[in-house]
């Protein structure tokens, strides 16, 4: 009888823990990892920090992967999954190399299939060269027992010299994404270079992504997102669609300072990891 009571207690505890895990917010992020290539991936201390930070998220998109051999996305994926339980592992999907000059970059999505289902990828067909690095996105379905939400996530690395025009043109990207995927609940996230000398206060009136009320900016203009010590609000998260707006915890949006998390004690080592913090938001 005593053994049965203990077994029953264990089952109850397991059920409570399982339910609690199922209610954990979904964490999403975008991170410009400065010049992520084979050189950076050869430095164990930096890789350990990257892995530790990325594992905080259920969905994360990386910008500025610059490896010409196309091996770095898979290498980082292997490092992410090393030692994880099968239920916690990640999958990934990468764009082609983007860029209108000899310098090119990739976007790479990493996600946990235990938390979201990947549906399809998306690349903006930029015939007019509006963007230096064409926006790349994905459609996901949240794995939930009650309410499911299909949503899109579009990544962008805006060229500093064309910041105003490229941010404005993201409205066209949203329209194209909605037409091609049928999804209007969308997160647009990445390095917008939306501040400093690239975008001034007087520029906002000419940026449809800011003036169109269907878009909500979750990171204010006074929040710095770089590791350089400046207050430049370069990295942003913008959402459109009632479903995703209601599902997100808007107060959770912001940059994540990983310095203490990675045991970094000085600004130089911090910048060796990246000159940007990831920007994150959680979903209920």
Task: Encode pLDDT of 164-199 as tens digits.
Answer: 999 999 999 999 999 999 999 999 999 999 999 999
Of 10-14, 150-154, 234-238, the one with minimum mean pLDDT is 10-14
Q: What is the mean pLDDT of residues 242-267?
A: 97
**Predicted local confidence at residue 216, as pLDDT:** 99
Which of the 8 DSSP states describes residue 150? Answer: E
Fold (CATH) for 26-283: Deoxyribonuclease I; Chain A (3.60.10)
Q: Are 254 and 248 in contact (CB under 8 A)?
A: no
Active-site choice (157, 166, 276, 280): 157
Q: Are 219 and 269 in contact (CB under 8 A)?
A: no
Q: Is 282 helix (H, G, I), strand (E, B) or coil?
A: strand
Instruction: List the structure tokens of 218.
Output: 């979750």
CB atoms within 10 A of CB 217: 17
Which helix (H) or strand (E) covers residue 216, if one does? strand 215-217
Which helix (H) or strand (E) covers residue 116, if one does? strand 116-123
Give 144's pLDDT tier (boundaries 50, 70, 90): low
Q: Is 179 helix (H, G, I), strand (E, B) or coil?
A: helix
Q: Which residues have CB under 8 Å from 99's CB, separation 6+?
A: 105, 132, 133
Query: Edge to edge, what strands does the sheet with 26-36 contain?
Result: 91-94, 106-111, 59-65, 26-36, 279-283, 248-255
Residue 166 appears among annotated catalytic residues: no
Identify which of 190, 181, 168 has the alpha carbon closest to the alpha carbon of residue 235: 190
Active-site choice (64, 77, 105, 276): 105
Q: Could you state, in order of their start, the residue ranges of all structural domains in the chain?
A: 26-283
Task: Encode pLDDT of 244-254 as tens digits.
Answer: 999 999 999 99
The CA distances from residue 154 to 9, 61, 62, in Å, are 45, 9, 11
- Residue carrying structure tokens 């309410």: 147
Residue 79 appears among annotated catalytic residues: no
Instruction: List the structure tokens of 263.
Output: 């045991």
Helix 72-81 vs helix 44-54: crossing angle, to nearest 10:
70
């Amino acid at each position: 009888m005593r053994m049965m009571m203990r077994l029953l207690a264990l089952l109850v505890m397991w059920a409570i823990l399982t339910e609690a895990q199922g209610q954990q917010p979904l964490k999403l992020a975008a991170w410009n990892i400065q010049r992520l290539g084979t050189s950076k991936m050869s430095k164990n201390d930096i890789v350990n920090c990257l892995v530790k930070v990325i594992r905080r998220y259920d969905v994360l998109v990386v910008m500025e992967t610059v490896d010409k051999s196309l091996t770095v996305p898979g290498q980082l994926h292997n490092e992410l999954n090393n030692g994880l339980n099968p239920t916690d592992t990640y999958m990934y999907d990468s764009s082609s190399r983007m860029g209108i000059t000899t310098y090119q970059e990739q976007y790479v999505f990493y996600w946990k299939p235990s938390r979201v289902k990947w549906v399809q990828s998306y690349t903006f067909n930029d015939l007019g060269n509006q963007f230096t690095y064409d926006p790349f996105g994905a459609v996901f379905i949240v794995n939930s027992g009650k309410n499911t939400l299909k949503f899109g996530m579009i990544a962008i690395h805006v060229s500093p010299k064309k910041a105003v025009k490229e941010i404005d043109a993201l409205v066209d990207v949203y329209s194209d994404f909605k037409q091609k995927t049928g999804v209007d609940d969308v997160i647009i996230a990445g390095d917008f270079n939306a501040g400093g000398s690239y975008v001034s206060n007087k520029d906002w009136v000419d940026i449809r992504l800011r003036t169109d009320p269907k878009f909500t900016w979750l990171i204010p203009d006074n929040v710095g997102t770089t590791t350089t010590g400046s207050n430049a609000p370069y990295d942003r998260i913008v959402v459109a669609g009632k479903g995703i707006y209601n599902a997100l915890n808007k107060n959770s949006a912001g940059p994540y300072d990983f310095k203490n998390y990675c045991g970094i004690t000085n600004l130089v080592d911090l910048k060796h990891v990246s000159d940007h913090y990831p920007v994150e938001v959680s979903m209920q």
